[in-house]
Structure formats: structure tokens, C-alpha cells
A and B are shown apart, each in its own frame.
Chain A
Amino acid sequence: MTPPRDFTAEVGSDMRVSQRRVLFVTRRTSSQVRAYEEERVQTFPEVLIRALLAVECLFLGLVLMSLFFNAPLEGIANPTNTPNPAKAPWYFLGLQEMLHYFPPVVAGVIIPGLLVVSLIVIPYFDINIEAQGLFLKNRTQRLRWSMILSVALIVFLAVFDVYVALVPTAIVALFLLLAAFSSPQSPSRFRSYLAQRPVSWWIMTWFLFQLIVLTAVGTFFRGPGWSWVLPWRS
């Protein structure tokens, strides 16, 4: 560790000093300062110019898109003529897909409510803060519980015929199984990666996978009466 230096700062100086946080550990014989230099750049102009460039590129892409693709505009709103299917905006189609299987209280209130609540509480869960691999400790017990939960979820989804959500769940469960029988020292980089994934990673990845599949199905594969259609055969 580098010994602490005296700071000097003067008006108009070009010195590059980083602020440091000093931590005093009480009831110990010594105090420790974790000091390490980290190279920094000035927000003005370096970072702001980069941000501006990034936004500029995005703007260019959106302008090009707007020149070549027109926003949809259908006939005037007519309460007596219901289109079939009547679809919500794409980011709600996952929920609309759920609405097809479950009563509105479940699909429209409980599921989105639970989603928002679980997103909010994510950082307040202090379990497994070091983000250790799910199966690196208590392997048998954890494997048993994760499989019980996965199978219960799959059975639940099968009872309600929600095969669209069942398939991603089953795929994630298979990878869970693979992770349980892999070690971080595995020669396969993929299996080593899986073995080191913590439980939060598994839940979020399952959610992301569901979100993508359900949204894609609602957008492209649903036709009149919410029946299954193939987008390339319309």
C-alpha cells in the first residue's frame, strides 16, 4: 500500500488529486485507509463530449428510421367496431398474454404489482451479498429446493395451459441442473460461468427470458381471438 501523502491544492492548480474516504475502525489498534489511485477524467469536457457523441449517433439512427418508416395511423376511433385482436402497446403484450390465461385480477393486478415490488426490494436483500455461485454451498439441499420450485412452477403453468411461459421456465431449469453439476474449475468456460452465478442472477435471467418470449409471442404470434398465428404466413 502506498503511504498517505500530504495534499496540496492551490487556486488554478493543475494538480490531479482524488478525494479519499478515510475509514476509522473503532476498538481496533490501527486505522486503515484503503488508498489506491484510479485514473480519472474531467467530466467537462471529456465525458460530456462522449455523451453528446453517443446521443448524436442515436439521434442519427432515429432520424434515419423516421425517414424510412412511418408511424402507424389507422381509421378514426370507433367504439362500435372492435378490431380483432385489440392489442396493447408492445411493452404490455407480455401482460396481455398472461391475461389470456389468468383472470384480470391475477394477470392485470397481482402479477404487475408483484413485479414492481420485487424490482424495488432487490437492493434491500442482504442475502448472499458476495454473489457466490448458487450451488457452491449446501449443494444437495439447494439443488433439491431449486428443482422442487422449478417443477412446481412448471406444473402450475401446465395446469393453466401457459405453455408460452412453461418452455422458458423449463429451459432455465435445465441450465440450473447443468450449473449444479458444474464447478468453477470446469474446463468448459460456459459451465464454469454457470457454476458461479448467484441466485439473484438466475431469477433475473428467468424474468428477462420470460419478458422477451412473452412480448415476442404477443407481438408476432397472436392473431384473431388471440389464436396462435405465424407472422410469415399472414
Chain B
Amino acid sequence: MPNRLETYFARLERTRVWKSIFRSGTGSSTLHNALAIQQNLFLHLFSTKVRKRMVSLSATWYLGTLTLGTFFILVGTGVVLMLYYHPSVPQAYSDVKDLRFVVSSGLFLRNLHRWSAHAMVFLAFAHMFRVFYRGAYRAPREFNWVVGVILLLVTLLLSYTGYLLPWDQLAFWAITVGTNISSAVPLVGDKIRFLLLGGHQVNANALLRFYVLHTVILPLSAVLFLAVHFWRIRKDGGLYVRQSEPGNAENPAQPASEEKKQS
């Protein structure tokens, strides 16, 4: 069966349509594999090669990749959830109730969205601390660290704006506690709060604003900064590798002592 599948795939790759879409051509040489990355709008953000020791689990724990993974899960489940949800009071609450009791797999969808959201916040924090403890934020990667901090804030805001949408007691009071803090900002505090909520308290206007933030503005900014974040990995010389870390047996990385001799 796999052989047959491979033949079909090989035949597909030779068709004119396939060739018109994927310009890298067929074959599996190093060049073709490199072109598969470089000639692709989305994949060209990444470099065509990665240091072998950075691919191992112990080097990164794949925390950044996993954070991106949760983001994809959240976009997927989120779009489907949007089909069943009206951002209005009290319809929002009954929609979430319907997801639980009426819509087929609705309960599962909402669970997956909720747990993935928590996982994304956790993984983003874990990724940040891991990068810090490896020292991977140092020059020339300073700016990518800053982009990462922005992405962490976007993640927190995404999670926080989503918190209001079920319009239950938990949501209402968590947002009330949070937005009350913003009114503590000197001079413009109340104005910021009014801008966030579209009123003086958490009400239907606030729900609509949080919905727009949660489903349009924040995901779009996340995508934008994610693109910069990945592109900068390539531009900054690939994943950070410590000089002191052992290279592979054949070609050991330069020992630290030799570095000192040179300077």
C-alpha cells in the first residue's frame, strides 16, 4: 500500500498543475529540499538548514514550536466556535450553554479551546524562561527577544479577552477585577477603562469590544509579530548555540580556550 501511495504521489508531482504551484521541482536532493523552504512564502521565514545539535529535544524542549502549535489549535477551534456564538447579552451565555448541551462535539470544542489557551500562556512563559537561561537573548538577538515579549503580552491579552466571552459569573467578575485595575492608571485611568469597556461597567458593549479584540485585532497582531519572530531567527543566525556546548564528534565546536588565544 505505501508503495502504491508513493507512486501516486510521484505521479502527482509530475503533473503540470503541481509544478505550477511548487516551483522547487521534484526530487529529494539537498538543493531541492532547500528550495522547498526557500521558494515557499510561509516557510521561507525559516532557514533552509538547522544545526543538528539544535534539533535535539534537550536543546530547546521545542517550547517555541509547541507554543505555535497551541496557537494553530486555538485558531482552528476558535473559528469553529465562532459559528455558534453571538457576542450579545444574554445570547452569548445561552450560546455557550448550547455548545455544552446541544451542539454535537460542542463541549469537546470548547474544552479544547479553553485548555489550549491555558497551555499557550504556560508555554509562552516557559519558552521565555528557557530562552533566558540559555542566554539566547544576547546580541544579535536582542530585538527578537523584544518581539517575544510583545508576543507574550499579546498572548496574555488574547487569553484575557477570551475569558469574558462565555458571559458567566466567572467571566464577568474576572474582567471586572481586571479592568478596575486599569482605572488606577494616573490621570487617564478612567478614560482607558471607558475605552476598553465602551461604558462605565462591564456590559454588552464591553462584550462586543472584547469579542472584536479576541477574534480580529489580537490574532492578526499575533500573526504579524510571529512572522517577524520566525524571520528574525534566520536573520540573526539561526537558533542560538552556546560556544561551550559540545559539538558533534567529527567537527567539535571551537573550544573556549582557543577563542581566548585569538583575541
Give the contacts of B107-150 with A (CB-CB under 8 A): 107-108, 110-116, 118-119, 121, 125, 128-129, 132-133, 135, 137-139, 141-142, 145-146, 149
Stretch at the interface among B2-10, B11-19, B152-160: B152-160
B154 CB, nearest partner CB in chain A, Å? 12
> How large, as a class, is the contact surface on chain B?
35 or more
Distance of A95 Cα from B177 Cα, bound (Å) = 11
Stretch at the interface among B49-57, B210-218, B219-227: B49-57
Distance of A39 Cα from B34 Cα, bound (Å) = 15
Distance of A108 Cα from B129 Cα, bound (Å) = 23
Distance of A95 Cα from B90 Cα, bound (Å) = 30
> How large, as a class, is the contact surface on chain A?
35 or more
> Which residues does chain A contribute within 8 Å of B129, judged by CB atoms?
204, 208
A62 & B177 in contact (Cβ 8 Å cutoff): no
- A47 to chain B: closest residue by CB: B50
Stretch at the interface among A69-77, A135-143, A187-195: A69-77
A91 & B159 in contact (Cβ 8 Å cutoff): yes
Stretch at the interface among A52-60, A145-153, A158-166, A171-179: A52-60
> Which residues does chain A contribute within 8 Å of B55, judged by CB atoms?
41, 46-47, 50
A42 & B31 in contact (Cβ 8 Å cutoff): no
A170 CB, nearest partner CB in chain B, Å? 22
- B100: interface (CB < 8 Å): yes
B111 & A71 in contact (Cβ 8 Å cutoff): yes
Give the contacts of A109-153 with B (CB-CB under 8 A): 109, 116, 119-120, 122-124, 129, 131
A42 & B30 in contact (Cβ 8 Å cutoff): yes
Complex A-B: 19 CB contacts under 8 Å: A12-B27, A14-B29, A16-B30, A42-B30, A42-B49, A44-B48, A50-B55, A66-B108, A77-B89, A79-B172, A79-B202, A88-B177, A89-B174, A104-B184, A109-B186, A116-B149, A123-B142, A201-B133, A204-B133
Give A contacts to B, CB under 8 Å: 11-16, 18, 32, 34, 36-48, 50-51, 54-55, 58-59, 62-63, 65-67, 69-79, 81-83, 86-92, 95-96, 99, 103-105, 107-109, 116, 119-120, 122-124, 129, 131, 201, 204, 208, 211
6 interchain residue pairs of minimum CB distance: A104-B184, A108-B181, A55-B69, A77-B172, A123-B142, A66-B111
